[in-house]
Amino acid sequence: MIVNSAAGKRVLMLLENSLYPHDSRVHAEATTLAGAGYQVTVITPAYRGQRFHEVLDGVRVYRFPFRTSGRGFLGYLWEYGYSMVATFVVSLIVFARHGFDVIHANNPPDLFVLVAAFYKLFGVRFVFDHHDLSPEMYEARFGRRARRSIYQALVFFEKLSCRLADHVIATNESYKAIEMQRGGVSEQRITIVRNGPDLDRIRPVDPDADLRRRGRTIIGYMGAMATQDGVDYLLRAIWHLVYDLRRTDFFCVLIGPEDPAVGLEALTIKLGLQDYVWRTGYIPFADLLRYLSTADICVDPDPSNPFNDRCTMTKMMVYMALEKPIVAFDLPEHRFSAQGSALYVKPNDELEFARALVELMDDPDRRKAMGRFGRQRVESALTWSHSVPFLLDVYKKVTTNAAVAADEISTESVQTRRREHPEIVIGK
């Protein structure tokens, strides 16, 4: 049997809840595949004047205008509904211009399965890259306001994504267990591709002089700031730091996009923390590196809940790559990732979080030792280079199956034509 070596080499990656190339995981996956000879296109939201189409590091990028979710469930419904329509329209443009053999959907939302299902009619393979547990994330965001019917709908789309996928990518063992138990996916169709920093891209740089002057100790946070990310817990911990523990010799920088529904600006004012906290919003990657390189302590305030307890947090490994000590609530996947580079606090205890900050603020030698351990941990086990073979193995399986299927269809067609037209000699 002759296998078509070009089959499956064109990949379309779908991204909605972050931007490209800001999303470090998607950027690493896309550039890895491009470097391995795949033709990779990414569809992503656009932000602040980004172009509709450009090529970055060998990856084609197509963008649609970003629309914020606003407040509440209806806001998210509008955001995801708009994004799915926009993604589908742009995918038609990509399909016509370049074609693609594999759709690689980076959830959330799990609604990407609807786009993938359409293209599966044309023989396109579907890889479901399971970044977040959407049902648990919904409950974490809305708490008591969460509706059972919506939770069940999210479970349905997660199951549909798992079952229609030709292969499922999990970020850790916790997600793999969910995919097998709730999604009904066989172990053979799941590969764990862990989040991991690219040390060629994420590296310490010279500190920012202006930020350095704003406090004896600089506390840094990077990442999204939605309800489940616990930045409100961090702000209340900082309130304890200032008003209960009487420490004012610090400054905290919060880097990343905010969900308006969380109300971080109002909470900062209510707690009287305007002089101690700076929220940067989206900033260029070079600025992010500079600010985090300035930080003395980095924080991960994700509270314990059924969503966060199963998540591998990218920000933790970015902190470790930059040799920063971490203060975090004691969650299972935090322990696996950070080990001795973090000081762990009883989950959701804001006063204890503040006390842990003081402990590290007053012990620079311990901070340095924790930072060195974190960097060594990343280098030895957690860099993106350790995940590359697993990602490429996924595509070897998916593209081999696609090539074999295409060859079988072609062979069957030839045999049919020979039976119907024995006078025609085919294939010489």
User: Residue 95: which H helix or E strand, with range?
Assistant: helix 72-97
Confidence at 74, pLDDT banded by 50, 70, 90: confident
* Residue 238 pLDDT exceeds 50: yes
Cα gap 239→219, rounded to integer Å: 14
The pLDDT of residue 418 is 45
Average pLDDT over residues 8-14: 90
Q: Quick one: average pLDDT of 409-418?
A: 44
Q: What is residue 142's predicted lDDT score, i.e. its pLDDT?
A: 85
Residue 428 has pLDDT above 70, yes or no: no
Distances, alpha carbon 110 to alpha carbons 46, 83, 165, 261, 332, in Å = 20, 12, 12, 22, 25
Domain 209-382, what fold? Answer: Rossmann fold (3.40.50)
On the question of pLDDT at 409 being above 90, the answer is no
Looking at the chain, the whole-number percentage of residues with pLDDT higher than 90 is 78
CA distance 341 to 371: 6
Checking if the pLDDT of 71 tops 80, the result is: no
Higher pLDDT, 367 or 400: 367
Q: Rounded to whole angstroms, how far apart are CA atoms 304 and 330?
A: 8
Query: Could you give the strand order of the β-sheet that contains 297-300, starting from the edge strand earlier in sequence?
Result: 277-281, 250-255, 217-222, 297-300, 326-329, 342-345
Average pLDDT over residues 74-95: 90
Q: So what's the pLDDT on residue 1? A: 34
Indicate the pLDDT class of residue 401, thresholds 50, 70 and 90: low
Which residues, 6 or more positions from 260, have their beta carbon under 8 angstroms from its beta carbon? 68, 69, 70, 71
CB 172 within 8 A of CB 192: yes
Q: Is the pTM of this model over 0.85?
A: no
pLDDT in tens, 256-308: 989 888 899 999 999 999 999 999 998 888 999 999 999 999 999 999 999 99
Q: How confident is the model at residue 110 (pLDDT cuts 50, 70, 90)?
A: very high
- CA nearest to 312, candidates 386, 220, 382: 382
Q: What is the pLDDT of residues 23-33, one digit of tens each?
A: 889 999 999 99
Q: Give the CATH H-level superfamily of domain 10-196+383-414.
A: Glycogen Phosphorylase B; (3.40.50.2000)
| C-alpha 114 chain-centroid distance | 20
Distance of alpha carbon 158 from alpha carbon 46, whole angstroms: 26
Q: What is the pLDDT of residue 43?
A: 98
Is residue 98 over pLDDT 90?
yes
CATH 3.40.50.2000 range(s) for the chain read: 10-196+383-414, 209-382
Whether the pLDDT of residue 375 is over 60: the answer is yes
**Cβ atoms 283, 203 nearer than 8 A:** no
Residue 6 has pLDDT above 50, yes or no: no
Question: Which tops the pLDDT comparison, 414 or 26?
Answer: 26
pLDDT at 205: 96
> How many residues belong to the chain?
428
Question: pLDDT above 70 covers what percent of the chain?
Answer: 90
* 120 CB-contact burial (10 Å; exposed 0-12 / middle 13-18 / buried 19+): middle
pLDDT at 186: 97
Measured distance between the N- and C-terminal CA atoms of the chain, rounded to whole angstroms: 16
Mean pLDDT, rounded, for 173-194? 96
- C-alpha span between 255 and 113 (Å, rounded): 31
Which tokens is 425 given?
């000699």
Residue 196 sits at φ, ψ, to 5 deg, of -165, 140
Which residue stretches of 182-331 are H helix? 209-212, 231-239, 264-270, 285-294, 314-321
Query: What pLDDT is recorded for position 411?
Result: 44
Mean pLDDT of the 146-155 span: 93
When comparing pLDDT for 128 and 23, which is higher? 128
Mean pLDDT value across the chain: 90
Whether 7 shows a pLDDT value over 70: the answer reads no
Pairing of strands 250-255, 326-329: unpaired
pLDDT of residue 70: 58
